[in-house]
Structure 1
Amino acid sequence: MTTRPTRFPPYGKPLVFCVSLLPLVWLCWLAWQDRLGANPVETLSHRTGDWSLRFLLLTLAVTPLRRLSGWNWLLKFRRMLGLFAFFYVCLHLGVYLIFDQFFDPSAILEDIAKRPYITVGFAGFLLLIPLAATSTNGMIKRLGRNWQRLHRLVYLIGMLGVVHYWWLVKADISEPLLYAGLLTMLLGYRAWWWNVHSPTAARSTR
């Protein structure tokens, strides 16, 4: 599909930045009003985990949306959305470390070893660290094509995030099933693109 030149929306980045902070602001408001429910730690953990996965899927959705719509300016938001995914993952992990395990190293290591959903989630967090650390313009130039290869780890991270959520829930799997379906469509689109386009075109994907 050919792309069409379109104008970058004014104040787009500040707007996306502010909107991306709204879930955190809402959680802080609920905490201030003591409206996090009977189990505040569980609520915080689930909400931050949900937004981690949502921002990860939004990041993966940028390239397909850009190709289908021809709006090249969408690429300008991809890095910010990816960093917000990492930000909410850090909050999610922080809730677990601080309020659930109280920074007890032995309990944390035991949990990682014995609970598969925590093992998978922690692995996804570790894989996100090099992606966040190499998201600057300087690192993009320094790594060259290796930057694209490294950042394709986001596909695996997305899978780990969905599996983490799926294994976490005990009964109703409707939400993780929805995320799994969205991730399948996003990755399936990329697989289709790579199959029908030249290797040169495929290198521009993420």
Structure 2
Amino acid sequence: MSVKDGINAAARKFPTWPLYLAALAYAGWQFWLGLSGAWVEPINTLERQYGEAALTMLIASLTITPIREYLRINLIKFRRALGLIAFFFVVAHFLVWALLDVQSLSRVWADIVKRPYVTVGMVGFVLLIPLAATSANRIIRKMGPILWRRVHKLVYPAVLLACLHYLWLARGFQIEPIAYFVVTIGLLVLRLKPVKRRVAA
């Protein structure tokens, strides 16, 4: 058995629930660090940690197709879990910002309207809602594969807006948000090539 076959066999046997458990544990641990006084600015740090976790999970979900197309390693069963975990952290990121940071519905709306980086972040959040809402098997069967795939292409503008939100939010020249953006662009380019090959064939 080759290494690829071994990885594919292990992936088929490995359940997805440990991913959800790890996400909940990480979220709880970060929240505890904020409560314990481990950070100088606990609210801002917790908000950033949840946001980075969401973006990391979104990017991880984008790697599934290129890994399958180029490396012949099939991790497709984990894509939904990664997407739902990303949405969970996006919601957590938003709630920390709205409830603990801004603490006012009127100010939340004012920031969405007046602050461009908040605007693009909120648009990205809204684009992810139909993806999370249509992730159940029953809904997928009802929608049909073609409509479902079209809806879930919203992840592409959503992750780009999330990267732009992070870049805009960063103060000064910071490598991390730039790296997220570059990796995302690279993954989207990689996803285009197999589509072009299939169309040509």
TM-score, normalized by the shorter chain, greater than 0.5: yes
Partner Cα separation in structure 2 for residue 63 and residue 28 of structure 1: 32
Q: Percent identity?
A: 37
Residue identity in the other structure for 2:149: Q
Q: Give the match for residue 189 of structure 1.
A: 190
Per-residue Cα deviation, 1:42-89 (whole angstroms, up to 9, x for no partner): 0011101100100000111111112223232x1111001000000000
Q: Sort the Cα spacing of 1:196 and 1:10 in 2 relative to 1 into closer, same or farther, 3 A.
A: closer
- Is contact 2:98-2:105 (8 Å) kept? no
Aligned-pair CA distance for 1:20? 2.9
Q: Give the match for residue 57 of structure 1.
A: 59
- In structure 1, list runs of 5 or more residues that go unmatched: 202-206
Partner Cα separation in structure 2 for residue 136 and residue 14 of structure 1: 15
Partner Cα separation in structure 2 for residue 173 and residue 94 of structure 1: 25
Q: Give the match for residue 82 of structure 2.
A: 81
1:10 aligns to 2:3 (yes or no): no
Aligned-pair CA distance for 1:4? 6.2
Q: Give the match for residue 171 of structure 2.
A: 170
Structure 1 residue matching 2:47: 3-state secondary structure: helix
Partner Cα separation in structure 1 for residue 17 and residue 98 of structure 2: 31
Aligned length: 195
Partner Cα separation in structure 1 for residue 195 and residue 69 of structure 2: 13
Q: Give the match for residue 204 of structure 1.
A: none
Alignment RMSD, CA only?
Answer: 1.9
TM-score normalised to structure 2 length: 0.90
1:154 aligns to 2:155 (yes or no): yes
Residue identity in the other structure for 1:68: Y
- Is contact 2:167-2:177 (8 Å) kept? yes
- Is contact 2:35-2:42 (8 Å) kept? no
Partner Cα separation in structure 2 for residue 190 and residue 31 of structure 1: 38
Structure with greater proportional helix content: 2
1:27 aligns to 2:60 (yes or no): no
TM-score normalised to structure 1 length: 0.87
Residue identity in the other structure for 1:156: P
Aligned-pair CA distance for 1:23? 2.4
Per-residue Cα deviation, 1:146-189 (whole angstroms, up to 9, x for no partner): 11000001000010000000100111331111001110111000
Aligned-pair CA distance for 1:21? 3.0
Partner Cα separation in structure 2 for residue 61 and residue 113 of structure 1: 33
Partner Cα separation in structure 2 for residue 22 and residue 185 of structure 1: 30
Aligned-pair CA distance for 1:198? 2.3
Q: Give the match for residue 124 of structure 2.
A: 124
Partner Cα separation in structure 2 for residue 164 and residue 171 of structure 1: 14
Residue identity in the other structure for 1:44: L
Aligned-pair CA distance for 1:9? 4.5
1:90 aligns to 2:91 (yes or no): yes
Partner Cα separation in structure 1 for residue 142 and residue 116 of structure 2: 36
